[in-house]
Amino acid sequence: MIFTSEGPPIPESSLRDDLTLPQFILDAHHHLRPQRGYNRPWFIDYATGRQYDLEECRSRTFGLANALAGLYNISATIRGMLLNNHSVDYPIAIWAVHRLGAIVSGGNPSYTVSELGYQLMATKATLIIAHSACLSVAQETARKIQFPQDRIICLEPPNKLISEKTSPRAVITVEHLIERGLSDLNIAGPKFVERRLQPGEGKTKVAFLSLSSGTTGKPKAVAISHYAPISNLIQMGAYWRLNDPTVPFEERRCRDGDVSLGVLPMFRTCSVCSLHFHIYGWVIVVFLPKYTFHDFLSSITRYRITHLWLVPPQMIALIKHPDTKKYDLSHVRCVVGGAAPVSSTLELELRKVLPGASTGQGFGMTALLLTVRPWPSHIRNGTLGSAGRLITNVEAKVVKEDGTLSGYDEPGELLVRSPSLALRYENNPQATKETFQDGWLRTGDEVMFNRSGDIFIMDRTKARQRALTPHLRGYQVAPAELEGHLLGHPAVTDAGVIGVPDEYSGDLPFAFVVLEQGAAERAAKDGQEREDLRQSIAKHVSDHKVRYKWLDGGIEFLDAIPKNPSVSSIVGLVWFGLVLVVPINDLSSVRLCMI
């Protein structure tokens, strides 16, 4: 059977297919979007207290776009990359690139030189915008691959200086570019003409290229149109009835004066979509530049945060860390969990810590939220342990192994159809053919619907060897990537990586390793040799991979790796990673990678 969302669908004519994302967010009005006064902050930087309202967001976006067009010729020849910590100017950079017709992708700020180098080469980037915390890695990577140093821009929150230690050479900042772009506008006029899309063009014009953690080898680039996130915002707004005047004030999902904490990694397109949802709902967003649990709690109290989007390890920390009791969290009224399943036990314990909050979880893929808990979950029916219900205009079917459709309470692989689906895997027709089939997207997840419409995520049906490892910051690990890297160690002939439970990190990477014959014989005879091999293999990973991919769970030597589904411990669904910038047609050569 085909499962659909409760409530009437949105007519296709109400989904904007003639706008880019910044045009929809900054310039247009949609009848399902709440109305608020314009003289209010949109963004707040936790570290400095700096605030941007709508008009400042528009101005800064235009200034940056004007400077990029004038100084870097981004409208014709530029390709680039963005590396980012939680900067209040991150959405400004995204919108500026989109104003120029380019594609946006986000890079992990914790990447090592080799990982960043792979992304630069894979995306053919010719411009890097990096937060100061990532600047030294960006510069070292540029030297290694002969990337022009003058093509590195610093994405730095205002009123912060770049130290010599952080930046061994002078770099231009986003703040400087914004000032220059606005100054040039007053003197010589705009350096670019913003593209206006034809009806239907938003469905094909790529907005994001998000790198996914693949089940085999290197990540794949997921192409996402402007139409997809715009549709997803409208779908969520309709499902949660954001602009419905009949909803009582105390039951509204987004109220005037609500504040959200931007704490999930912004290089993930799904996090960018949650950011845009709060802007769409006129919820103020506080940016926490660097995550520590103390700053996390302090920001919730200081800015009276009402909305939190978290990963399970962050929920566990709220429940178990003794410092939680030192803070007043009574104003938190909405918590959404994602990236891995939230158990009913975890949700019940979280409600004890946040008794005034509606809690639940969402389920989705790149740039796409498929299911959420009905709002508010303590008033409308919701089932603990479920991943919610299908949002408006999403269709789903559950397919058994024999190809027949499942009914209620019958497990199978989830296939979905939605206006917010990604377009394809860029330059990978085989992966596209396997995943995108006749308008349906195969998620590779085993699920089950009950008769109330709640969905339960049960397992991965595709590539069960992949254990998804949520980190305290919401990062995830694809074991296939680590397994491939381990094979590069001279003493390793085969490897399997799983996630082992950790109280605060969710899971830690644990490697089963098969040694080559000589190394195996030495390890069998000498305990110290065995330990030295463990340390050498661990160092092989830590020297080339970002910190959360290190083998902190341990290393175990085996004679052979079992090749069956029981090898892995599957804990969740991947929400994709990186951000790049690319145009189409006359702008087809543009790439911008943001870290």
pLDDT in tens, 164-174: 444 445 688 99
Structure tokens at 168: 């061994």
- pLDDT computed for residue 81 by the predictor: 60
- Establish how many alpha carbons lie within 13 A of residue 584's alpha carbon, considering only the half-sphere containing its beta carbon: 18
Helix or strand run (H / E) with residue 429: helix 429-435
Inter-residue contact 339 to 575 (CB < 8 Å): yes
pLDDT at 360: 78
d(CA 564, CA 463): 10
| 3-class secondary-structure state, position 128 | strand
Identical topology for domains 51-208+578-594 and 479-564: no
Both tokens assigned to 567: 């090898």
The 3-state DSSP class for residue 111 equals: coil
Q: What is the pLDDT of residue 506?
A: 63
Q: Would you say 375 and 348 are in contact if contact means Cβ atoms under 8 Å apart? A: no
Question: What is the number of alpha carbons within 13 Å of residue 101 lying toward its C-beta?
Answer: 22
Give the Cα-Cα-Cα angle 414, 420, 425 (nearest 5 degrees). 75
Asked if 348 contacts 319 with a C-beta cutoff of 8 angstroms, the reply is: no
| Superfamily name with CATH number, domain 479-564 | ANL, C-terminal domain (3.30.300.30)
Q: Amino acid letter at 108?
A: N
The DSSP bridge pattern shows strands 152-155 and 424-425 to be unpaired
pLDDT at 351: 86
pLDDT value of position 497: 83
**86 contacts 263 by C-beta, under 8 angstroms:** yes
**What is the rounded distance in angstroms from the CA atom of residue 90 to the CA atom of residue 21?**
14
Where the chain has pLDDT below 50, the residues are 76-77, 158-168, 215-216, 378-381, 462-472, 563-591, 593
- For residue 170, what pLDDT is reported? 65
Compute the residue count for the chain: 595
Contact predicate 477/456, CB 8 Å:
no
> Phi/psi at 275 (nearest 5 deg)?
-60, -50
pLDDT, position 591:
42
DSSP codes joined into one string, 83-94: E-SS-TTHHHHH
Residue 362: per-residue pLDDT: 76
Phi, psi of 337 (to 5 degrees): -100, 150
- CATH number for the domain running over 51-208+578-594: 3.40.50.12780
Contacts of 573 (CB under 8 A, 6+ apart): 339, 340, 363, 364, 365, 443, 445, 457, 468
Tokens of 473: 């910051």
* Identity at 65, one-letter amino acid code: A
Q: Provide the Cα torsion 113, 292, 153, 185; round to 10°.
A: 160
Residue 503 exposed, middle or buried by CB count within 10 Å (0-12, 13-18, 19+)? exposed
Q: Which helix (H) or strand (E) holds 234?
A: helix 227-239
Cis peptide before 376 (omega within 30 of 0): yes
What residue type is assigned to position 439 of the chain? G
Residue 395: beta bridge partners? 4, 417
Q: Report which of 107, 134, 102, 101 is spatially closest to residue 120, judged by C-alpha positions.
A: 107
> How many other CB atoms are found less than 10 A from the CB of residue 322?
6
- Distance of alpha carbon 364 from alpha carbon 344, whole angstroms: 19
Which residue bears the tokens 């969302």? 5
User: What pLDDT, on the 0 to 100 scale, is given for residue 433?
Assistant: 92
Spatial neighbors of 154 by CB under 8 A, at least 6 apart, are 129, 130, 131, 132, 135, 162, 167, 171, 172, 173, 174
Nearest CA to 582 out of 174, 221, 137 is that of: 221
Letter for the amino acid at 581? V
Quote the crossing angle between the two packed helices 227-239 and 269-280, to the nearest 10°: 50
DSSP state string for 184-230: HHHHH--S-----PPTTGGGTSEEEEEEE--SSSS-EEEEEESHHHH
Closest CA to 413 of 437, 382, 445, 387: 445
Return the pLDDT at 479: 72
Residue 325's φ and ψ, nearest 5 degrees, are -70, -15
| Cα gap 494→478, rounded to integer Å | 16
Cβ proximity of 171 and 142 under 8 Å: no
Q: How far apart are CA 510 and CA 500, in angstroms?
A: 6
- Domain boundaries, given as residue ranges, for the chain: 51-208+578-594, 479-564
Per-residue confidence (pLDDT) for residue 474, from 0 to 100: 52
Please state, in angstroms and as integers, the Cα–Cα distance from residue 6 to each residue in 34, 117, 126, 373, 425, following that order. 21, 46, 46, 12, 31
CA–CA gap between residue 467 and residue 413 (Å, rounded): 17
